[in-house]
Amino acid sequence: MKRYSVFAVAREAMRQHSGWGRAWSNPEPKTSYDVIIIGAGGHGLATAYYLGKNFGITNLAVIEKGWLGGGNTGRNTTIIRSNYLQDASAALYEKSRSLYENLSQDLNYNVMFSPRGVMMLAQTQHEIRGYQRTAHANSLQGVSTEFIGPSRVKELCPIMNIDGPRYPVLGALWQPRGGSARHDAVAWGYARACSDMGMDILQQTEVMGIRQKNGNVVGVDTTRGNIACKKLGMVVAGHASVVAEMAGFKLPLESVPLQALVSEPIKPCMDVVVMANTVHGYMSQSDKGEMVIGGGTDGYNAYTQRGSFHHLEETVRALIETFPMVSRLKMLRHWGGIVDVTGDRSPILSKTPLGNTFINCGWGTGGFKAIPGSGWGFAELMANGESPLTAGFGLDRFRVGRFIDESVAAGVAH
């Protein structure tokens, strides 16, 4: 793999950029691998990368039924934060945020990480108490956050109306080192690094069945033939329950659409990420000038990746009081993703009833921010059978009632 640098760019500029190779290979499948990962999104690729980097496991294939990063990885609003209340959540997301800090250098690929800061608005007395509680918990967890007042909120985001009649801004939970990154670049960077280690990324390869023998996985049936493996990782987000059914077990989650939109590009006016959970809307400005806007999930189960006007109208209407300028913008495009939601709104990173098979799912609306930490912990789980980062997120917690209830803690699980 050609290493990217200012000198490489200069050399290629002198020869019309004719020397650049493919960022990742497009091989034919082998008959057998040590490890197969189903799902070439951010979490699947990160898992493969850290299996290779941290544990030397490179005889590995990442199988994707569509195109690399074409699922939720390319359909989110790119928020990165770690100010969660529960200890297990804060540890996992803070590991992820810290890995994002140096991910571009680690992968030799610019993921455009921007630690611009994330604020979660308190617009009710209940939210003030809740966020102050979270700030104290974060202090004990080693996560740098603080609760700030309305004047500081206005200073950080001048375009905000903090005196709305229905939803006044009473303060915010502020994480200065949160921010955003380029979602496609994260997937591309991991894919490039995995390919460089000799791993196979098999796109347009759909898994049709999972083969097992004596209670252990032995391979997968795909549209490109049967492929044997010693270990299997399922990392398919909204389709997790479908793949789990192929392996003979059920998952305690449901799949629902989540929509987002971007406006026409405008001049820079907002250099922080703002989440308004009372009205369930959040917004940031991309490097291209688009206002990136998201809201809550649809109220029904589905596998659609299309947006609907009703839900987008509801989200934008809720934000207009806090951001009046939104009312004057035109929508450029909108889209939908399929999110998998558990009862406690926390993920599943776990062994499964099928031997040597592992599941990574249930991220709901918060998957992008967790990609590096999820890959790190899930790789450790697959390699060693256990990981401190994933210990609290096993499937057995639903059986014994040991929930990690971030929906109650935060009021919203983004």
Q: What is the DSSP string of 115-140?
A: ---EEEEE-SHHHHHHHHHHHHHHHH
CB atoms inside a 10 Å sphere around CB 122: 27
CB atoms inside a 10 Å sphere around CB 68: 23
Answer whether residue 411 shows pLDDT above 50. Answer: no
Answer whether residue 412 shows pLDDT above 80. Answer: no
Answer whether residue 343 shows pLDDT above 50. Answer: yes
Answer whether residue 366 shows pLDDT above 90. Answer: no
Q: What is the DSSP letter of 196?
A: H
**Alpha carbon of 173 to those of 126, 128, 170, 223: distances in Å?**
13, 9, 11, 48
**Contact predicate 237/71, CB 8 Å:** yes
What's the mean pLDDT when you consider all of the chain?
93
User: What local confidence, expressed as pLDDT, does residue 193 receive?
Assistant: 96
Can you tell me whether residue 147 is helix, strand or coil? Answer: strand
pLDDT tens figures, 242-270: 999 999 999 999 999 988 999 999 999 99
Answer whether residue 408 shows pLDDT above 80. Answer: no
Answer whether residue 410 shows pLDDT above 80. Answer: no
Q: Is 181 exposed, middle or buried (0-12, 13-18, 19+ CB in 10 A)?
A: buried
Confidence of residue 30 (pLDDT cuts 50, 70, 90): very high
pTM of the entire predicted model: 0.94
Q: Domain 118-181+255-342 adopts which CATH fold? A: D-Amino Acid Oxidase; Chain A, domain 2 (3.30.9)
pLDDT, average across residues 146-170? 94
Which has more confidence, 92 or 296?
92
pLDDT, average across residues 377-399? 96
User: What local confidence, expressed as pLDDT, does residue 309 receive?
Assistant: 79
User: What local confidence, expressed as pLDDT, does residue 300 receive?
Assistant: 82
pLDDT, average across residues 24-33? 94
Answer whether residue 285 shows pLDDT above 70. Answer: yes
Nearest by Cα to 138 from 176, 99, 82, 179: 82
Nearest by Cα to 234 from 378, 68, 85, 57: 378
Least confident of 92-101, 297-306, 335-344, 378-387: 297-306
Answer whether residue 356 shows pLDDT above 90. Answer: yes
* Chain centroid, CA 407 distance in Å: 17
Confidence of residue 409 (pLDDT cuts 50, 70, 90): very low
- CA dist 406 and 89 (Å) reads 8
Nearest by Cα to 349 from 361, 365, 339: 361
- CA dist 227 and 242 (Å) reads 19
Does the fold of domain 118-181+255-342 match that of domain 25-82+183-251+344-410? no
Confidence of residue 151 (pLDDT cuts 50, 70, 90): very high
pLDDT, average across residues 299-325? 84
pLDDT, average across residues 116-135? 94
pLDDT, average across residues 183-191? 96
Q: Domain 25-82+183-251+344-410 adopts which CATH fold? A: FAD/NAD(P)-binding domain (3.50.50)
Sorted by where each begins, the domain ranges of the chain are: 25-82+183-251+344-410, 118-181+255-342
Confidence of residue 318 (pLDDT cuts 50, 70, 90): confident
Q: Token digits for 203?
A: 């796109």
pLDDT, average across residues 389-413? 80
CB atoms inside a 10 Å sphere around CB 277: 21
Q: Token digits for 375?
A: 């890959």
- CA dist 272 and 75 (Å) reads 20
Confidence of residue 23 (pLDDT cuts 50, 70, 90): confident
